[in-house]
Amino acid sequence: MITLHHLENSRSHRILWLLEELGCEYRIKHYKRDSKTNLAPPELKKVHPLGKSPVITEGKQTLAESAIIVEYLARTHGDTQWAPPVDDARYWNFNYWMHYAEGSMMPPLLLKLVFSKLRQPPVPFFIRPISSKIADQVDAAFTIPQIETHFSYVDEYLGEHPWFAGDDISAADIQMSFPLEAALAGGTIKRADYPNIAVYVHKFQSRPAYVRALEAGGDYAYGPQPED
């Protein structure tokens, strides 16, 4: 039996979605974020030393990090549609997007989130003008240009490909889902500016397995938005 240690409003949702796509037998252990820090609760450190989600356990196996969890599930509980073998023509493209999601696309989004905190409490109001100016300069010089570069690249790719690793959905799409839907839901990017991303996100969020994952996982801020 697979156990998913599931943190609300986190990357854990894409693991839950994959479990539903693969028809796995699983159970969920739910965790709530700390109301003050918005971080994962300390109970998660009892599962894995980093105390982060997602984490899965199956038998004696405990796995953290989204990419390895996604690939583990796809290769042990799915077929070659979900994770192509090394001698498959799709393999290197599949592997590229599996790494790209967290290695290239997420860092500027995380930087933008971190520096946005400099514009609001608990930063003291008399320091906030200075910290806000620093955040503005970082956004203008690095964060926003990087976000535009990466999302334009992905939008162009999705204009020519139905899914990231081929003609069918694969584990690479599960892995790529979080930065795309999080950026849209949070207003970091606009649908009108990246229409192919918008269509793609709507497509995967409409899948029955994704809808079942929402029902099983509970609140998820990055799911389908009202305008969808």
135 and 188 assigned to the same domain:
yes
- Could you tell me the CATH number of the domain that includes residue 40? 3.40.30.10
Residue 12, in any domain of the structure: yes
DSSP letters, 3-33, are EEEEETTSTHHHHHHHHHHHT--EEEEEE--
18 and 68 assigned to the same domain:
yes
Res 139: pLDDT: 80
Res 228: pLDDT: 54
Residue pair 119/135 in contact (Cβ under 8 Å)? The answer is: yes
20 and 62 assigned to the same domain:
yes
Q: Which of 13, 45, 77 is the last residue of a domain?
A: 77
Res 58: pLDDT: 97
The amino acid at residue 209 is A
22 and 65 assigned to the same domain:
yes
- Which 3 state secondary structure label does DSSP give 81? coil
73 and 95 assigned to the same domain:
no
Res 26: pLDDT: 98
Residue 219, in any domain of the structure: no
102 and 199 assigned to the same domain:
yes
Residue 41, in any domain of the structure: yes
Range of the domain at 185: 91-207
- Which 3 state secondary structure label does DSSP give 207? coil
Residue 226, in any domain of the structure: no
Res 227: pLDDT: 66
Residue 149, in any domain of the structure: yes
130 and 42 assigned to the same domain:
no
Q: Which of 54, 77, 100 is the last residue of a domain?
A: 77
Q: What does the DSSP 8-state code read for residue 44?
A: G
Residue 222, in any domain of the structure: no
β-pairing, 2-7 vs 26-31, is parallel
22 and 68 assigned to the same domain:
yes
Which of the residues in the chain have pLDDT under 70?
227-228
Residue 223, in any domain of the structure: no
Helix then strand count (H, E) for the chain reads 9, 4
Q: Which of 77, 100, 123 is the last residue of a domain?
A: 77
135 and 179 assigned to the same domain:
yes
Res 38: pLDDT: 81
Residue 220, in any domain of the structure: no
Count: domains in the chain = 2
Reading the block at residue 212, the tokens are 């079942």
Res 182: pLDDT: 96
Q: Is the overall model pTM greater than 0.85, yes or no?
A: yes
18 and 99 assigned to the same domain:
no
- Could you tell me the CATH number of the domain that includes residue 197? 1.20.1050.10
42 and 148 assigned to the same domain:
no
100 and 179 assigned to the same domain:
yes
